[in-house]
């Protein structure tokens, strides 16, 4: 009942957001000067005027922009056809899919670590408010907030490669390129240390801050006093009563953060030449490969919208209070 209403609302909202993204993507694409045929077939290939005209008709570029072309584009995107990359001369969707896994690996690791560490530290800081732990944690998160992602990456790259001999880029050593990642795990791990560390430091601060204020708010609630009155120790109260309530905002934050995580991935992958979507986004930007850029944008935006929606669903399972309100 309530949950269904809530979910319907969320589905509706996700669809609206999706529509905005799709329309935006379409419009930006059309705003670009130049011949859209090139976007479809790639730039370097010289083709005859006849072939161009045929393609024009095939892709409906001779028909009005709205609604015909828009619907055509929509249909193609829905089928996963995102055009052909100018620089790689390959279907954009193919290129993107190949990089998705690497990015998920990096983002996933970074998120998991930063959530675990950030939540633990935030819990500690909020619980032991105004102690050295708290002040230290706050200082850390403030600085983490103010550090530009890419610069932290550069610093860690310089420090890690100089003093620890860690690899400065890529996802595997050149000798292992092309092999399935799980067969060269130690090498992959070695390469992942610095980029993951960068992402972890960056997001940890934020999770910590949220967890800290969240736990402080929860600890001010009457049910915490009730739990204490029941004779529970601080630790028991924290674990059984405070944690779940305080974690709820984190779930929402993780979802919202995905957008920022993607931004982080663009910087970190650029600095560490990590072969993922973020790096590819940056390359597409430099090479002005618009089909690739916009395909990547579409994929990233849709993934984040989807993840937000999943987080909303997850939320209904975690928080029994979710109401339509």
Partner 1 sequence: MKSRKWLVQVILIAAVLLSACGQAGGGSQEPVVLKVGWTGAPDTLNPAYAFLTESFTIFDLTYSALTTQAVSGEYVGSLAKEWTHSDDGLTWTFTLKDNITWHNGEPFTASDVAWTINAIIADPDGWAAVSNYTANFVEAAAPDDKTVVITLDTPVGNMEYRLSWIYIVYPPDFEVFTTPEDLQNFTNDTPTGTGPFKVTSFDKDLGVIVMDAYADYFDGAAKIDQITFQTFDNSDAMIQALKVGDIDMVIDVPQSAFATVEGFENVKAVKTAGSYFSELIINSVPEDFDPAPNKNPALDDPQVRLAIAHAINKQDLVDAVLQNLGVVGDTIVPPQLGGGFWHNPNIQDIPFDLSKANAVLEQAGYVMGADGVREKDGVRLEFRLQFPSDNPLYPRVADMLTAWFKEAGIKTTPESVDPDSLYSQMTPAGNYDLVIWGWGPDPDPDFILSVMTSDQFVDGGWSDSGYMNPEYDQLYLDQQVTVDKAARQAIIWKMQEMVFNDRPYIVLWYEDLLRAYRSDRFTGFIESPLGIEIHHSMLQVEPVQ
Partner 2 sequence: MNPRWLLLKRNLLDFWKTFRRNRMGLAGAFLVLTAILAAVFAPLLTPYTPTETMRDAEGRALTFAPPSVHAPLGTDDAGRDVWTQLVYGARISLTVGFLAGFIAMFIGSLFGITAGYFGGWVDNLLMRLTDVLLVIPDLPLILVLVATVRQLELKVSPLVILILVIGLLYWTSTARLIRSQVLTIKERQYVYRARAIGAGNWHIVRKHILPQIMPLIVANTVLILSTAILIESGLAFLGLGDPTQPSWGTMLNFAFDRNAVSNGAWWFYLPPGLAIIWATLGCVLLGNVLEEMLNPRLASHHLEGEQSIVTQP
Partner 3 sequence: MTSTEPLLSLRHLSTEFSTTDGTVARALEDVSFDVHPGQTVGLVGESGCGKTTTLLSIMRLLPVTARITSGQVLFNGKDLLALSETDMRRYRWKELSIVFQGAMNALNPVMTIGEQIREAIILHDLMDKTHANRRVNELLDMVGIAPSRRDQYPHEYSGGMRQRAMIAMALACQPCLLFADEPTTALDVMVQAQILELLQKIQRLLGLAVVLVTHDLGVVAEVCDTVVVMYGGKVAENGPVDEVYNAPQHPYTQRLLEAFPDLNRPAGSLAVIPGTPPRLNALPPGCRFAPRCHKAFERCRVEAPAETDLGGGHTAACHLLEKAEAHQ
The footprint of partner 2 (CB under 8 A) covers 13, 16-17, 20-21, 24-25, 28, 31-33, 127-129, 142-143, 145-152, 154-155, 157-158, 161, 168, 216-220, 224-225, 228, 234, 237-238, 242, 256, 258-260, 262-263, 266-267, 270-271, 281-282, 285-286, 288, 290, 293-294, 296-297, 300-301, 304-305, 308
Using the rule CB under 8 A, is 114 a contact of partner 1? Answer: no
Residues 83 and 286 sit within 8 Å (Cβ to Cβ): no
Q: If we measure between CA atoms, which residue out of 9, 10, 17, 95 comes closest to residue 291? A: 95
Residues 127 and 217 sit within 8 Å (Cβ to Cβ): no
User: Whole-angstrom Cα distance, residue 178 to residue 172?
Assistant: 9
How many residues sit in the footprint of partner 1 (CB under 8 A)? 39
In the complex, minimum distance from the CB of residue 248 to partner 3, in angstroms, rounded to a whole number: 8
Between 114 and 261, name the residue whose CB sits nearer to partner 2.
261
In the complex, minimum distance from the CB of residue 173 to partner 1, in angstroms, rounded to a whole number: 5
Using the rule CB under 8 A, is 240 a contact of partner 3? Answer: yes
Contacting residue, 195, 279, 294, 304, with partner 1 by CB under 8 A: 279
User: Whole-angstrom Cα distance, residue 202 to residue 266?
Assistant: 14
User: Whole-angstrom Cα distance, residue 4 to residue 10?
Assistant: 10
Residues 96 and 90 sit within 8 Å (Cβ to Cβ): no
Q: How far apart are the first and last CA of the chain?
A: 12
In the complex, minimum distance from the CB of residue 231 to partner 3, in angstroms, rounded to a whole number: 4
Between 47 and 143, name the residue whose CB sits nearer to partner 2.
143
Using the rule CB under 8 A, is 9 a contact of partner 3? Answer: no
Stretch 241-270 residues interacting with partner 3 (CB under 8 A) = 241, 244-245, 248
Between 37 and 144, name the residue whose CB sits nearer to partner 1.
37
HSE of 204, CA atoms in CB hemisphere, 13 A: 23
Between 50 and 222, name the residue whose CB sits nearer to partner 3.
222
In the complex, minimum distance from the CB of residue 8 to partner 2, in angstroms, rounded to a whole number: 15
Stretch 158-177 residues interacting with partner 1 (CB under 8 A) = 161, 165, 167-170, 173-175, 177
Using the rule CB under 8 A, is 189 a contact of partner 1? Answer: no
Partner whose binding site includes residue 142, from partner 3, partner 2, partner 1, none (CB under 5 to 8 Å by kind): partner 2
Contacting residue, 79, 146, 182, 229, with partner 1 by CB under 8 A: 182
Contacting residue, 4, 90, 230, 244, with partner 1 by CB under 8 A: 90
- Report whether the peptide linkage leading into residue 67 is cis, meaning its omega lies within 30 degrees of zero: yes
Enumerate binding residues for partner 3 (CB under 8 A): 221-223, 225-233, 236, 240-241, 244-245, 248, 318-321, 323
């Amino acid at each position: 009942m309530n949950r269904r209403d809530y979910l319907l609302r969320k589905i509706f909202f996700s669809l609206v957001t999706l529509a905005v993204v799709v329309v935006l993507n379409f419009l930006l694409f059309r705003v670009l000067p130049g011949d859209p045929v090139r976007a479809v077939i790639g730039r370097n290939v010289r083709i005859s005027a006849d072939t161009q005209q045929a393609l024009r008709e095939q892709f409906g570029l001779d028909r009005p922009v709205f609604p015909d072309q828009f619907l055509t584009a929509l249909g193609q995107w829905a089928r996963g056809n995102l055009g052909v990359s100018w620089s790689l001369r390959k279907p954009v969707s193919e290129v993107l899919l190949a990089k998705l896994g690497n990015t998920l690996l990096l983002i996933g690791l970074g998120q998991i670590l930063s959530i675990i560490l950030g939540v633990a530290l935030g819990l500690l800081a909020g619980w032991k408010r105004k102690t050295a732990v708290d002040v230290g944690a706050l200082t850390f998160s403030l600085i983490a907030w103010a550090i530009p992602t890419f610069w932290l990456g550069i610093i860690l790259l310089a420090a890690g490669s100089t003093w620890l001999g860690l690899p400065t880029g890529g996802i595997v050593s050149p000798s292992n390129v092309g092999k399935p990642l799980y067969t060269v795990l130690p090498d992959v791990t070695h390469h992942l240390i610095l980029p993951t560390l960068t992402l972890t430091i960056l997001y940890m601060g934020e999770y910590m801050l949220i967890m800290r204020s969240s736990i402080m708010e929860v600890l001010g609630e009457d049910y915490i006093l009730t739990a204490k009155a029941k004779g529970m120790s601080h630790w028991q109260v924290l674990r059984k009563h405070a944690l779940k309530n305080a974690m709820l905002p984190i779930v929402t934050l993780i979802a919202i953060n995905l957008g920022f995580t993607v931004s982080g991935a663009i910087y970190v992958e650029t600095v560490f030449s990590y072969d993922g979507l973020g790096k590819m986004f940056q390359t597409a930007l430099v090479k002005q490969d618009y089909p690739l850029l916009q395909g990547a944008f579409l994929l990233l935006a849709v993934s984040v919208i989807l993840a937000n929606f999943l987080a909303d669903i997850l939320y209904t399972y975690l928080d029994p209070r979710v109401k339509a309100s």
